[in-house]
Structure 1
Amino acid sequence: MEKVPMTAEGFTALEAEIKHLKTVERPRIIKLIAEARAHGDLSENAEYHAAKDLQGLTEARMADLEDKLSRADIIDVSKLKGDQVMFGATVTLVDEDTDDKVKYRIVGETEASVKDGKISITSPIARALLGKRKKDVVEVSTPGGGKSYEIVKVEFK
């Protein structure tokens, strides 16, 4: 089994999601199924089938999350330091074409969220950044074409 790298924060978030699914969503769905079953003929009961589909999706999501947690390789970012980009680093970049600054934290796939400034270690930009240092320039292939970024800060927090 392949280990899944993640931060302690990401591990805690997955645990919280599983707890929510088990303690809130699962009972809610069971109630929906029971209510729909009370309407009678199940073969033409859209509410019943929708609730059963939702139950299947929820159970699959829980199984997926539990699998990821069981294979988690928790990396304590607070113990990392240095000037080289690696898992857990928060990297500030400047787009060489527009001078726009962006800040990304390199995290595991399960915790990636671009809107929160977290990019997956397997993303093209993270792969281009790994091993680089402050003042290095990296070329990244994006769907809109190539981009050049200068690394202006590498930090671990």
Structure 2
Amino acid sequence: MSSAFLKNETADAPVVIPARAPLPPGTPNYVTPHGLALLREELTGLEAEHAHVQTDGSEANDRMRQLALLNGQIGNLNQRIASAKVVDPQNQPHDEVRFGATVSIRTISGTTKGAERRFTIVGVDEADASRGCIAFTAPIARAMQGKRVGEHFSLRMAKGEDSMEVLAIEYKEN
């Protein structure tokens, strides 16, 4: 049985630090001003949790494991914040799809013909498809990069290729 399914971990088991959203090698860590604020809020929360764990009365081994995990998460987050390149959507060309744009598209041919969707292109740490925020590294974001209203682009899907049209582009203030 995998140790991941055991309730009690041994004191000498390595601490596994969850990975952050990946950035392809050599890709800048673009973030919106809002995305950077979210990263800083996350750091503040982890630092508060770290301070609490240092003073709680739990067993030393448990406390050491929690601190090791938090130290790793804080280190990863600090690296992500240090590498952040803030891109203000308001400074983007408002007539084409760029980082920070909220884009409305319609599928004009393919598996989801007629479907309309709306996405905001954000940094990898801010991406959340359930809120309509997609990472600038996502295939659909890369496919529509530089397009203008009325222009078409193609995207290879699991069941074939969809052709899409850009319906609207807007840049919201953060």
User: Which band: TM-score by shorter chain?
Assistant: 0.7 to 0.9
Q: Does 1:116 align with 2:131?
A: yes
Q: Does 1:139 align with 2:163?
A: no
Please, what is the CA RMSD of the aligned residues? Answer: 2.1
**Matching residue of 1:14:** 39
The equivalent position to 1:36 in structure 2, one of 59, 68, 88, is 59
Contact 2:92 2:98 in 1 (8 A): no
> Secondary structure of 2:59's partner?
helix
- The CA distance in 2 between the partners of 1:5 and 1:58, in whole Å, is 25
Change (3 A) 1:117 1:4: same
The structure richer in helix per residue is 1
Matches for 1:1-157 after TM superposition, within 5 Å: 3-23=28-48, 25-31=49-55, 34-37=57-60, 48=62, 51-96=63-108, 97-157=112-172
Percent identical: 26
- The CA distance in 2 between the partners of 1:14 and 1:142, in whole Å, is 32
Change (3 A) 1:143 1:31: farther
Paired residues, number: 144
Change (3 A) 1:140 1:53: farther
TM-score, normalised by the number of residues in structure 2 = 0.73
More off after superposition, 5-14 vs 57-66:
57-66
Contact 1:81 1:155 in 2 (8 A): no
- The CA distance in 2 between the partners of 1:141 and 1:31, in whole Å, is 53
Unaligned runs of 5+ in 1: 43-47
> Secondary structure of 1:119's partner?
strand
Please report how far the alpha carbon of residue 111 of structure 1 lies from its aligned counterpart in structure 2 after TM superposition. 1.2
**Matching residue of 2:14:** none
Change (3 A) 1:135 1:67: same
Change (3 A) 1:30 1:134: same
Contact 2:107 2:115 in 1 (8 A): yes
Please report how far the alpha carbon of residue 31 of structure 1 lies from its aligned counterpart in structure 2 after TM superposition. 4.7
Please report how far the alpha carbon of residue 2 of structure 1 lies from its aligned counterpart in structure 2 after TM superposition. 6.4
TM-score, normalised by the number of residues in structure 1 = 0.80
